[in-house]
Structures are given as structure tokens and as C-alpha cells.
Structure 1
Amino acid sequence: MSKTKLTINRNGSIKIEGDFEITDSQGNVFGLGGRTALGLCRCGESKNKPFCDGSHRNNFEHECEAFDLPPMKTN
């Protein structure tokens, strides 16, 4: 099984690559047609949510830079 990788694209989608499945809130699996890479909408404008259809072009700006989260809280 390959490692799953998510890339937060500049001014665009979240690219997911590797071995993954995507489910809705009820646990139903999306049919991905054998894809091992695709884009997930991050702007909210896609007509094909949760998948990116390119609607973000010229309407969405966000450049994400990696950072470290604080340690998880343990009680």
C-alpha cells in the first residue's frame, strides 16, 4: 500500500495522491474510477464538491505554508 500524500496547492485545491478512499458523512464510498490522484475543493465554489472543478481560478487566494501544530493535549 502506498503512502497517502495531501498537497495544499497555492490558490487552489488540495491534491490527494496514493491509496485512499473518500466517503460521505453517511459512510458511502465515492466511486473514483480507479484514480490514484485528484483535487479536493478548498474554495467552496466547485459545482462538483467535494472535488475541484477549477472554479477557484481568479476567485480564491490562499497560500499555505507548513507549520508545526502544538503538542496534543493529554488529560
Structure 2
Amino acid sequence: MSSPAPSERRRVVIDPGGPLLIEGPVEVELEDGRTVVSDRFVVAVCTCRRSRSYPWCDTSHRRHSRPAAAEGD
């Protein structure tokens, strides 16, 4: 597989504990074979699977944050 031309490359930002931010537009192929498209200039792809609009992030992960670890754990 050859490398895409610079104009075809997409920038992906990994947000620890959050979504993948991808410069759009994007096309995402889901596990069941369906394809979904977003024409936004930056797309947030859900990585926690809590989103009601999966694969797009709706910030549901914020409502389910993990409790802070106690000191010494």
C-alpha cells in the first residue's frame, strides 16, 4: 500500500480519555459493514462507546468519569 499524497492525509489527534479528533470530512466503516459520513471540518469519533450517536462523540464519557484513585493505590 502506498502512502497517500499530503493533500489526502488526515490529521488525527488522540485525546486521552476522550474521542479521536480527525480533520474532516471523514467516512467511517462500522463493524456491521455500514458506512457513515461526516462533512464537518473536525470530527470527534467516540472511543468509549457510550455515545448515543455512535460513532460520533456526544461527550457521554464525561458523565461516567472514573473516581480518582486514592493515594498509595
Normalized per residue, the structure richer in helix is: 2
Residue 23 (structure 1) shift: 2.6
Q: What is the one-letter code of the residue matched to 1:56?
A: H
Aligned to 2:49: 44
Higher Cα Rg, which structure: 2
Task: Count the aligned residue pairs.
Answer: 59
Give yes or no for contact 1:3–1:18 (8 Å, CA) kept in 2: no
**Please, what is the CA RMSD of the aligned residues?**
2.2
Give distance in 2, aligned partners of 1:39 and 1:48.
11
TM-score, L = length of structure 1 = 0.60
Residue 54 (structure 1) shift: 0.4
Identity %: 27
TM-score, L = length of structure 2 = 0.61
Q: Which has the higher contact order (CA 8 A, sep 6+)?
A: 1
Aligned to 1:59: 64
The gaps in structure 2 that reach 5 residues or longer are 1-6, 67-73
Aligned to 2:19: 13
Q: What is the one-letter code of the residue matched to 1:35?
A: R
